[in-house]
Amino acid sequence: MRHFDYQNGEMFAEDVPLSRIAGEVGTPVYVYSTATFTRHYRVFADSFLDTKALIAYSVKANSNIAVLATLAAQGAGADVVSGGELKRALTAGIPANKIVFSGVGKTRAEMGDALMADIRVFNVESLAELRALNEVALELGKNAPVAFRVNPDVTAGGHAKISTGKKENKFGIAWSRAEEAYAEAASLPGIQIVGVDVHIGSQISDLAPFEAAIIKVSGLIKRLRAAGHTISSFDIGGGLGIPYGNNTAVPPPPSEYAALVKRLTADLDVEMIFEPGRMIAGNSGVLLSEVLYVKRGEDRDFLIIDAAMNDLLRPALYDAYHDIEPVMQPDLDKIETYDVVGPICESGDTFTKGREMPKLESGDLIVLHSAGAYGAAQASQYNTRPLVPEVLVNGDEYAVIRSRPSVEDILKAESMPDWLTKHENVTDI
Ligand code: LLP
């Protein structure tokens, strides 16, 4: 069931009317549904109940600590890519032995924090990183559990900017160098080899690239074992896509993905690790916004809304499609065509062009759907627009889980060097 849907003529998030949140918190604001997060996590995890598997939710998709705690309560682990995300995951109560650390450029300080926390595994992406990790581990008297992220040279992903498994991408150990990387790792006293890792891209809408990658990596696991390495985990990353709306490809359901993974890995005797992000968070949230103005252009109408590309970057950065609906159930006889745009001073600040939608007016509320993943997490304060707040709904209650800073809060983080305070007209912040 949809947890963002019309009840008595207006859209609710679970049992809370969105108009109430807009009135009390203001717009723009992200609104998340606990029930949807939980259901998506359960659908994914339950497809692997009969398998040794760790579901390490990819924190980057939506990193709010309340969201992480919601998933932790379901048993989720975490895939983190920075010391900051590690801190978030631990703060939200995700046990360290369910945390995997990915990323192509971990710093020594981040490695140290993760070693001291005793995380499950470091997904290492280069020999230079491996050597640094070995040194940090030895300094701290630790042994770093390592899987190499390998680059299987497979094409996958909904957009060039989120495709990661080709040899020209910066990610992973080059396929032809994987075995020598394991040989070197085996010789380092601060490193313990535990597994293999791969992540080929995001918003993947068919199973073929997963199949290709799993087959290639399974072969590698067999060769590594034959060379004497202990490979007990196989992390196949995230990447399973979600339906975004009418003109985008519909990805297979998690049950089909799970069936494929199980079929291809049945004889490997490994613990599987998954790093789903979008699949869990994407359709668990909407961006709620108010129409500021309708402007009649030369050859088109612009719907100018109070959300902008700094709040939801996906359309500007990846030409992403998001369904847009009015909060008040519309009269479907009155359809108009709009370019939906934000207030930022760039033409790229456009959510969609030439979209047929119910007629809207100044003051109307709208939602941009499928905004729970890579929405708030990628927001900025460009144009000095305060960071967009986040609200989590749970049944008939809601809580602000990230508040909107004031402009004063923003200015407080900046400071005036001495040589400028002497100028006339400079006000104290
Ligand atoms: N694991 C690793 C190592 C990753 O780099 C990613 C995503 C994931 C897991 C989770 O992938 P997912 O299940 O969410 O597809 N900002 C872009 C997506 C960037 C994905 C980056 N890596 C967007 O809004 O489409």
pLDDT digits (tens, 9 = 90+) for 192-247: 999 999 999 999 999 999 999 999 999 999 999 999 999 999 999 999 999 998 76
Residue to mutate, 278, 322, 380, ligand 1, most ligand atoms under 8 Å from C-beta: 278
**Closest-lying ligand 1 atom to the alpha carbon of residue 314:** 24
pLDDT (0 to 100) of residue 250: 87
64 with 180, same domain? yes
163 pocket-lining for ligand 1 (C-beta < 6 Å) = no
Residue to mutate, 43, 59, 60, ligand 1, most ligand atoms under 8 Å from C-beta: 60
201 with 261, same domain? yes
Q: Whose CA is nearest to atom 8 of ligand 1?
A: 238
402 pocket-lining for ligand 1 (C-beta < 6 Å) = no
Q: What is the CATH number of the domain that holds 394?
A: 2.40.37.10
* Paired tokens of 395: 């049944």
pLDDT (0 to 100) of residue 156: 78
94 with 172, same domain? yes
18 with 62, same domain? no
Question: Which residue positions in the chain have pLDDT lower than 70?
Answer: 1, 158, 247, 423-424, 428-429
Closest to 29 measured CA to CA, from 21, 20, 37: 21
Residue 423 lies in a domain: no
- Identify the bridge partners of residue 201 per DSSP, sorted by sequence position: 163
pLDDT (0 to 100) of residue 1: 67
172 with 50, same domain? yes
**Closest-lying ligand 1 atom to the alpha carbon of residue 282:** 14
Residue 425 lies in a domain: no
Residue to mutate, 202, 275, 283, 317, ligand 1, most ligand atoms under 8 Å from C-beta: 202
User: How far is the centre of ligand 1, averaged over its atoms, from the C-alpha of 198 (Å)?
Assistant: 12
Residue 426 lies in a domain: no
Distance between CA 329 and CA 307 in Å, rounded? 20
pLDDT (0 to 100) of residue 2: 87
Q: Whose CA is nearest to atom 23 of ligand 1?
A: 374
Closest to 336 measured CA to CA, from 370, 306, 310, 366: 366
The boundaries of the domain holding residue 69 are: 34-280
279 pocket-lining for ligand 1 (C-beta < 6 Å) = yes
372 pocket-lining for ligand 1 (C-beta < 6 Å) = no
Task: Please check whether residue 55 is in contact with residue 81, taking contact to mean a CB–CB distance below 8 angstroms.
Answer: no
Closest to 391 measured CA to CA, from 282, 284, 283: 284
Neighbouring CB atoms inside 10 A of 312's CB total: 26
Whole-angstrom Cα Rg for the chain: 23
pLDDT (0 to 100) of residue 386: 98
Catalytic residue, from 345, 363, 419, 427: name it: 345
Count: domains in the chain:
2
Q: Whose CA is nearest to atom 22 of ligand 1?
A: 202
Q: Is 26 labeled as catalytic in the residue annotation? A: no
* Paired tokens of 284: 């668990």
40 pocket-lining for ligand 1 (C-beta < 6 Å) = no
Cis peptide before 386 (omega within 30 of 0): no
244 with 391, same domain? no
Residue 100: its H or E element: strand 99-101
